[in-house]
Structure 1
Amino acid sequence: MQLLFLAKTFVRQLRLKQYAWKWGSSLLIGSILATAWSLRSPGIALNRLTIRIGPIAQTIEVEDLEAFARTGEVPPRLRLYRTVLTPQVRQVLQNQLSLNPDISDRIIDDILQSANGEMLLNTLSTIAPDLSVDQLRAAIRLAAMSTDGLSVLGILRALPQENLEVDASAAIALISQLNLSRLESHALGSVLDYELVDEEIDPLPSTFDPAAPGPATVEQWELRLRDRDRDRIVPVDIYWSEQSTGPLVVLSHGFGADRRFLAYVAKHLASHGLTVVAIEHPGSNVAALSATELDPRASREPSRILPATEFIDRPKDVSFVLDELARLNRHSFALRGKLNTDQVTLIGHSLGGYTGLALAGAPLDIRALQRACSDLVPVGLSPADWLQCAAVDLPRYSGDLSDDRIQQVVAMNPIIGDLFGRQGLAQVTVPTLILTSTNDGVTPTIKQQIRPFSQLAGPKYLVAVIGGTHLSVGDPDNINPALQQIPFMPELQGEETQNVRQFLQGLLLSFVKQQTAEADLYAPFLSAAYAQSMSTPNLPIRFSTELPNSLTNWLRLTGSSSSETRSPTRLLASLMHLEVIQVNNRLGRLQHHVFAYLRLSYPPLIVLNWPLEQLHQS
């Protein structure tokens, strides 16, 4: 009976995966079909698109695609493609990414001039064999200058082609691997959702809510601290009150953000009597992206979006700021005694998560990173993979970046990957909390958070936001709206993630307070009970201090390197393993319900001491 149920359930799961693969393939094929419409412009007389699968070729008339894009109705001559011409495909025609003209050239140059960029262009040229790499490179640069924004359609519109032939076999092979990676993340989210639920939780204190604003009136100071040794100005915001005492909290933002990204967290913690310092890293904030164009003294040589030295400078920014604050703590009349730089909790997001872990003792492993980055392939590549590989130009020994003043670390959606190799995180012994969002398209949960979490040696906590995205933890008032509308990397809007931010206010306060005499008061909120109490059906939140055994075994069987190139076969094996875990979970839940029913309905069985497990087997 169990085997039959397992087989039926697995077949049902495969059907769901086939549906998801069909949806993803439809999106890709629809994008291919949309290219013909995009190429129709006054200077290019494209009339048809040829889709080839082996010896079979099918011609698509541009005017039919135009009609579909305009009305949403499938013309008679496109009835063959009715199943793939979905509303999602039509939306592809409208997807655009507006880039600041001051930074678009640097973004495009950085991607195209990298080895990974060349691999990506070569991959695209295999899908459209009539296009050369040089044509694709020129088209991308030209499309980036468009006032309508950068899009796949814009790139194709810029191609000097009258006819376009697409190898659908190559395209479908690529999208199948991409879909397997996404399905793997989705399956992992389902496993975390189920296995991290605590069904026997203690009730929370009803008279105390750590997510509620504190009683203190918050002051905010802005400072610009100059590090003369590095010729670097580090802006900081200090949040404090007259009642400020206890540990110091330092906030470190992610790549392309600023010190206001977690402003709501800073204000909340300060209202409860903590001093919070939000640091802005000048080499990886928003302003740094346009520095070359705005500064006529800057080098004319092509530069990377993220300089390799930023992986060194970011931790040094924090240590420098702590040195300056220690002096301020001694000499400032208003802040004297309020800046406890010897007891610091660092809260970092994305690249800020890397910053905190480096300060907590994880050494950079440039040799391991170079190996990983040399093996990367463009299929399934995430922005985190691009960013971490910027560090390969660093010397193999980059010095000790640790700082003993960092007593706790919170790494939310961190970029970790292969930056610390396989052993580096084992040197982090301070209490560490890692937050992962299962729909994160920038720092995917498996590579960047789940596997690294398993490598930590000290006290650790895992928070999983099921369905959350990369920016779900950010302050909605301080997030560029354009970042929430990037095609193929969907972000949730501010109102959709309100419960996550409210939960974080209470969780982070409780985490910091573990360094104080009030630790026992706040301990109940550093728990699965609190996470589940703040969950919603759309965004469940899970909390644990360890991975379940099923996921530990899954990590062991699917490889130890986060950026290890995985074939579709290995991806499929990983996905099937996660599916089996889900099926076993459902069987366990069913068995639990059956036993509960038997205990209530047939108490004589219990009196006769008839083992229920034997009854189940019979």
Structure 2
Amino acid sequence: MNTAASPAPVLSVAPVTLPVPGRPVDLEMKVSAPVDGSDLPIILLSHGQGFSTHLSSLHGYAPLADYWAARGFAVVQPTHLSSMTLSGVLGPDVPGAPMHWRSRAKDMSEILDRLDAIESSVPQLRGRLDHGKVSVVGHSMGGHTASLLLGAGIKDPESGETLNLADPRIKAGILLAAPGRGGEALSEWAADNFPFMAGVDFSTMATPTLVVVGDEDESTHLTVRGPSWHADPYHLAPGPKSLLTLFGGQHGLGGVSGYDVAETTDENPDRVSAVRKFGLAYLQSRFFGGSNWEAAGKELAEAPRPLGRVESK
């Protein structure tokens, strides 16, 4: 496993395409991995939504995907049906629109069902992936997707049925500026436009997870509770969990969705570096043991000007 000090050259292939029965368009993804090495752990990276067209697709989140792939992970980035890149293909009447919250989670399970097919589509990866070491990372709406895969329950607002979309093949996760609880915590706009957010239950999210939040992430279009709302997946879920709070961080967490993103309100390369460095340390510790995570937390706490703080349970 490579360390943060020794990045490797990265191979990225896109689009890798999987036809999925019943899905209105094929499932496309980008796969990035170091050019050498075997038994590569897998990161499923779920994009958020935003003003930019292509960041909410397989083309986004390069600051994270590039970094983690260069340090020994295979990063798989699907384009979910909610992506702005599909707005000219899928109309507003497609079932699940506009957020396609259920389909997003199913995309990730479909990828895990067909890892062999993905490896066959990318011969340079054949036989190099460790199918037993799988994690999921999601930002914003992608964080909602990741929370469902990690075990959070959700009530379907149309049927009233409580669903379990957890995938037991996923052994760890990272939630970046993810949505919190529903009910009175939601803004009126969110309750009207995203009713699925009302029915999330974090009490069943038992998979080990790192929750990353910005202490200035107000997200007033979604919640009336302010930045603390994004920490709900940490406080309301059972352990083991860790919480990384980034000082001065807003919803973009410094710019994780892409290089030089104009819509990032808190552009800060050091903050982005912290997200990807701490994310790497967390996943390395979960999959390979060692003290990477503890060392990263100590480094953060002892820095002359700390970028944030870490707590665990």
Range of TM-score over shorter length:
0.7 to 0.9
Alignment-derived partner of residue 415 in structure 1: 179
Q: CA distance change for structure 1 residues 535 and 445 in 2, over 3 Å: closer, same or farther?
A: farther
Name the counterpart of 1:439: 216
Aligned to 2:270: 499
C-alpha distance 477-451 of structure 1, shift in aligned 2 (>3 A): closer
Task: Compare CA radii of gyration and give the structure with the larger one.
Answer: 1
Question: Are 1:253 and 1:348, in contact at CA under 8 Å, matched by a contact in 2?
Answer: yes
Query: What is the match of residue 161 of structure 2?
Result: 397
* Cα distance in 1 between the residues matched to 2:304 and 2:45: 25
- What letter is aligned with 1:499? D
Matching residue within 443, 456, 460 for 2:237: 456
What are the within-5 Å matches in structure 2 for residues 190-589 of structure 1?
A: 210-214=3-7, 216-222=8-14, 223-240=16-33, 241-256=35-50, 257-282=56-81, 284-291=82-89, 298=91, 307=97, 310-329=100-119, 333-366=123-156, 392=157, 394-397=158-161, 399-418=163-182, 424-442=201-219, 444-447=226-229, 449-471=230-252, 472-477=254-259, 479=261, 481=262, 483-484=263-264, 491-493=265-267, 497-517=268-288, 519-527=289-297, 529-532=298-301, 536=305, 540-546=307-313
> What are the Cα deviations for residues 255-286 of structure 1, in whole angstroms up to 9, with x where unaligned?
2322333212212222122211122213x222
Instruction: Give, in whole Å, the separation in 1 of the partners of 2:121 and 2:98.
Output: 36
AA aligned to 1:276 is: V
Give, as a single letter, the amino acid of the residue that structure 2 aligns with 1:523.
Answer: W
Judged with a 3 Å threshold, the aligned counterparts in structure 2 of structure 1 residues 352 and 416 are, in CA distance, closer, same or farther, namely same
Check 1:273–1:218 CA distance in 2 against 1; reply closer, same or farther (3 A cut). same
Q: Is the 8 A contact 1:248 1:343 kept in 2?
A: yes
Structure 2: give runs of 5+ residues left out of the alignment.
51-55, 183-195
Q: Give the 3 Å change call, closer, same or farther, for CA 324–244 of structure 1 in structure 2.
A: same
Distance 1:220 1:534 in 2: 35
What secondary structure is seen at the aligned counterpart in 1 of 2:282? helix
Task: Check 1:330–1:258 CA distance in 2 against 1; reply closer, same or farther (3 A cut).
Answer: closer
Match for residue 190 of structure 2? none
Tell me the amino acid that sits aligned with residue 522 of structure 1.
Answer: N
AA at the equivalent of 1:270 = A
AA of the residue aligned to 1:544 = E
Please list the CA deviations of residues 476-502 of structure 1 after superposition, one character each: whole Å capped at 9, or x if unmatched.
4263x2x34xxxxxx123xxx111111
Output the amino acid matched with 1:531.
Answer: L
Q: What's the TM-score, normalizing by structure 2?
A: 0.80
Identity %: 21
> What is the alpha-carbon distance in structure 2 between the residues aligned to residue 423 and residue 220 of structure 1?
34
SS of the aligned residue for 1:342 comes to strand
Unaligned 5+ residue runs, structure 1?
1-208, 293-297, 367-391, 485-490, 547-618
Cα deviation code 1:289-320 (max 9, x no counterpart): 4546xxxxx57x7x99x826711100001111
Would the alpha carbon gap of residues 360 and 475 (structure 1) be closer, same or farther in structure 2, given more than 3 Å must change?
Answer: closer
Q: Are 1:211 and 1:502, in contact at CA under 8 Å, matched by a contact in 2?
A: no
Which one-letter code corresponds to 2:39 in the other structure? T
Moved more, 430-439 or 320-329: 320-329
Distance 1:462 1:231, change over 3 A: same
Matched length: 286
Equivalent position SS for 1:520:
coil
Contact 1:506 1:525 in 2 (8 A): no
Distance 2:274 2:302 in 1: 9
Helix, strand or coil at the partner of 1:531: helix
Quick one: distance in 2 between partners of 1:535 and 1:255?
A: 35
Distance 2:46 2:304 in 1: 26
How much does 1:422 deviate? 8.3
DSSP-derived class of the 2:136 partner: strand
Shift in Å, 1:520: 1.0
CA RMSD in angstroms, aligned pairs only: 2.9
1:177-220 Cα deviation digits (max 9, x unpaired):
xxxxxxxxxxxxxxxxxxxxxxxxxxxxxxxx954352x22111
1:505-526 CA-partner distances (Å, limit 9, x unpaired): 2211111112434x21423334
Q: 1:264 to 1:451 in 2, by over 3 A?
A: closer
Deviation (angstroms), 1:321: 1.6
Distance, in Å, in 1 between the alignment partners of 2:43 and 2:102 is: 21
Q: How does 1:14-53 map to 2 (within 5 A)?
A: none
Deviation at 1:427, TM superposition (A): 1.1
TM-score by length of 1: 0.43
